[in-house]
Amino acid sequence: MFPRTALVTGGASGIGAAIVGLLRDEGAEVRALDLSDGFDVSDPAAWEEVGPVELACLNAGVVTGEGNMAALTDAQYRRILGANVDGVVLGTRRLSRVMQPGGAIVATASLAGLIPAPEDPVYTLTKHAVVGFVRSAAPQLEALGIRINAVAPGFVDTPMIGDAKERFDEAGFPLLRPDDVARAVLLAARSAETGQVFVVQPGREPLQFRFPNIPGPRDPAGARVGPPPG
């Protein structure tokens, strides 16, 4: 069985609670780490108390609640960076030190990490950061025998969407349930892939996102140039 042991940040509510419930139903011993219980994912010292597990779900996240950049406060900015970015980076750093080969890390990103989301530009920034970090950290973690992937759900019916739920309901727009995302997290955790992002949308199975290639350089004669060695 995989995993036998796990941790979930932001595990007291919403998607995190759904992940905790699913893993426990699967027979795993799960530790839920949440600010409501005194665990601050942005605190490096807190992570030093975390021991090895087979699966780490780095899920804790917040929104700013502010779409107007001119009105964004310093406190809102620092809070969201701490939860959404520091929580993933510091968690991955600690786990890279203590996790055994065969372990897996899954970070909760968002569709806002793949496309623009003008209603909360800083939330979008943090989720793009998570996607880029997961893809970039994967090779060195793979050398340690650890896989890292991300899930990118669309809109989920949790308290985080706030008053917007009424607008979705009125428009007949389907929302994901936290359980939908939890199942995608488990799929990503058990995947042999690493450095991948699994998109989660209502009415669809989780789908591995295909990133587009970017144009490469050419020499003065117009021939393609490969990357530098090393």
224 found inside a domain: no
C-alpha R_g of the chain: 18
**221 in any annotated domain:** no
Residue 204 is given by DSSP the state: S
Whole-number Å distance between alpha carbons of 156 and 13: 13
Domain membership of residue 213 (yes or no) is: no
Q: Which of 101, 96, 91 is nearest to 8 (CA)?
A: 91
Tokens representing residue 123 in the block: 């939330």
Cα–Cα distance, 121 to 134 (Å, whole number): 20
- Number of structural domains found in the chain: 1
Query: Would you list the DSSP string of 163-186?
Result: THHHHHHHHT---B-HHHHHHHHH
Residue 214 falls inside a structural domain: no
pTM of the model: 0.93
CATH number, domain containing residue 119: 3.40.50.720
Q: Give residue-wise pLDDT tens across range 61-89.
A: 999 989 999 999 999 999 999 999 999 99
* 216: in domain: no
The residues annotated with a catalytic role in the active site are: 123
Q: pLDDT, tens digit, for every residue of 23-36?
A: 999 999 999 999 99
Q: Please compute the mean of the pLDDT values over residues 114-124 and round it to a whole number.
A: 95
Residue numbers of the domain that contains 153? 5-208
